[in-house]
């Protein structure tokens, strides 16, 4: 990758090492994982060994002790090869681990952070059938119980939809309302372990793109969770959700950035080899102009994503910038992947070549973790207030 954006030496080494891993270990498996809609278990083990499943977990808990920016670099580098792996790592780091580190009690941190560094995958469970963009209109309820039969804690009842990592996760951050009369101020975040009675993983969605990444329904039927498993405070789950998702959008920006860079990489290699009228199509000015626009799109995305991550690490306001990087990166990913198919011609439309998959993978970027319209509302509010 051209050194168009300045990185500290350790950041550049980290980014390149993750990409080298992805090129060596993920690329040979990407098509098969897409076709079978399933991650390779051995590959997941290698991700833990690489340290990208616990980037910000402190070294004292067995993690890599990196920064949020390192997480963003990891997601970008992995997504250049397979955005499905990118979102697995993104949700783990920018949503689940960050929520535990910020809102978890000392007991919760001791229980989960060391496991994130070795084998534990987490999932973030907010969306429901009737609460997508209007996330706080959730129907899932948590009722306080204290008896010999059900135990002492909160009984969760409801369903969650479109949950990333649903098949692979053993730990789930679940949002439920303990006091519907209080509206969003009743929402509370609970940590639910796989195997808890009353909790089952339901239907796995058959998706257009990022197919290896599992997207599942979760079902809660009198699922009793101890009070010690509350993340943050009772009634403050909305705060956990908002602040975590603000950071998560930067991670999605990094995923879409990596996807766009991967599509550009493939296309540059292809147009140098593909010949028409006796010479490589890269020699034609029309093709050169299209490649130039693709490269320009990718680099503007990189600047937005990196700037948002730097602001977050510096403790500066970043909400507007995160929304900008999320919507821009998702639009660029679709646009660049589409142009890649155009430049591949007929070959771009078949599964034998990689850009077809990247085009399918790109579409979700404009939908999850805040639709494009929601990002526009956030940007407008930020600049007009």
Catalytic residues: 369
Q: Chain centroid to CA 124: how far? A: 10
Tokens read off for 80: 């250049």
Query: Alpha-carbon distance 281 to 273, whole Å?
Result: 8
Length of the chain: 385
Q: Which residue reads 């919760």 in tokens? A: 108
Q: Chain centroid to CA 138: how far? A: 22
DSSP 258-316: HHHHHHHHHHHHHHHH-EETTEEGGGSHHHHHHHHHHHHHHHHHHHHHHHHHHHHHTT-
Q: Which residues are CB-neighbours of 322 under 8 A, at least 6 positions away?
A: 246, 247, 249, 250, 253, 308, 312
Query: Alpha-carbon distance 11 to 74, whole Å?
Result: 10
């Amino acid at each position: 990758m051209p050194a168009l954006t300045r990185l500290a030496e350790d950041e550049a080494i980290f980014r390149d090492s993750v990409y080298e891993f992805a090129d060596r270990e993920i690329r040979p498996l990407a098509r098969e994982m897409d076709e079978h809609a399933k991650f390779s278990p051995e590959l997941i083990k290698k991700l833990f060994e690489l340290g990208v499943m616990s980037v910000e977990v402190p070294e004292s808990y067995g993690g890599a002790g990196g920064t949020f920016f390192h997480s963003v670099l990891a997601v970008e580098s992995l997504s250049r090869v397979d955005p499905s792996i990118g979102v697995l790592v993104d949700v783990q780091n920018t949503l689940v681990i960050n929520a535990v580190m910020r809102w978890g009690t000392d007991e919760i941190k001791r229980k989960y952070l060391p496991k994130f560094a070795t084998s534990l995958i987490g999932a973030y469970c907010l969306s429901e059938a009737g609460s997508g963009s209007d996330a706080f209109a959730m129907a899932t309820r948590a009722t306080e119980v204290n008896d010999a039969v059900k135990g002492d804690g909160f009984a969760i009842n409801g369903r969650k939809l479109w949950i990333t990592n649903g098949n692979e996760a053993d730990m789930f951050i679940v949002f439920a309302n303990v006091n519907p009369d209080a509206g969003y101020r009743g929402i509370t975040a609970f940590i639910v372990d796989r195997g808890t009675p009353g909790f089952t993983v339901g239907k796995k969605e058959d998706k257009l793109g990022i197919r290896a990444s599992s997207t599942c329904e979760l079902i809660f039927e009198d699922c009793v969770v101890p009070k010690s498993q509350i993340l943050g405070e009772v009634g403050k789950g909305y705060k956990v959700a908002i602040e975590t998702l603000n950071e998560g959008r930067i991670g999605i920006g990094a995923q879409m950035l990596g996807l766009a860079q991967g599509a550009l990489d493939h296309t540059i290699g292809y147009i140098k080899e593909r010949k028409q009228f006796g010479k490589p199509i890269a020699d034609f000015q029309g093709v050169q102009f299209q490649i130039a626009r693709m490269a320009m799109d990718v680099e503007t995305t990189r600047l937005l994503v990196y700037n948002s991550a730097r602001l977050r690490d510096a403790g500066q306001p970043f909400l507007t910038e995160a929304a900008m990087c999320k919507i821009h990166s998702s639009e660029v990913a679709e646009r660049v992947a589409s142009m890649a198919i155009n430049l591949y011609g007929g070959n771009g439309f078949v599964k034998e070549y990689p850009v077809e998959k990247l085009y399918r993978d790109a579409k979700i970027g404009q939908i999850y973790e805040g639709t494009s319209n929601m990002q526009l509302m956030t940007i407008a509010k930020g600049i007009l207030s």
